[in-house]
Amino acid sequence: MRERTLSRRNAFKGRLLKVDILEVELDNGIRARREIVRHPGAVVIVAERPDGSLVLVRQYRKAIESELLEFCAGTLEPGEKPAACAARELQEETGFTAAAWRKLGLLHLAPGYSEERLHVFHARLRPTPRGGAPDADETLQVVTLSRAEFERRIAAGRITDAKTLAAWTLRCRRLTASRRRRQSTSAPRR
């Protein structure tokens, strides 16, 4: 299945986002209109301390008029590689740096209307934060939770940020897969 673009015009251009209006033709010949949000892409970091606790940030999100507890995340700068963005955002937002990084995957947050790609990383943190410097237009509170408390808050519906929930799912799947591989290589052969 494909849609052929017949025309495209920019309807909005802001500091971060653009919105394009497309006229498309479907495989069956029907024409339709698509409103597409153009976004430079972003990263989210599952930040884990040496004791296994998780580092998150609490911040106010104007779009929903509420505070959210979420994993550290940020938008790619022009020409910036996702791994470099992840390291920058982690240090800026939490003050931590990572001893080890692992890419967990890629997410499309709202492909029905946005091209945004979210790169998911896991960071094993160095023990001590060095001090962060959030962007001037951000107010953040760094929060550390045990895995058990994090899971309790998810189960209670107190953590609702989609990127955080999806990133945690990828982290858990990777951890489970790693354990299975270790078990299969250490199992006695018959």
CA–CA dist 63, 145 (Å, integer): 25
pLDDT in tens, 8-40: 999 999 999 999 999 999 999 999 999 999 999
177 — pLDDT class (breaks 50, 70, 90): confident
Q: What global pTM score does this model have?
A: 0.88
Residue 134 has pLDDT above 90, yes or no: no
Partners of 66 in the β-ladder: 61
How many Cβ atoms are within 10 Å of 142's Cβ, its own excluded?
17
Cα–Cα distance measured from residue 111 to residue 162, given in angstroms and rounded to the nearest whole number:
14
pLDDT, average across residues 130-135: 66
Residue 130's pLDDT is: 75
User: What does the pLDDT read at residue 188?
Assistant: 63
3-class SS at 136?
A: coil
Write the burial class of residue 157 (CB in 10 Å: 0-12 exposed, 13-18 middle, 19+ buried): exposed
Name which of 73, 46, 7 is nearest 145 in CA terms: 46
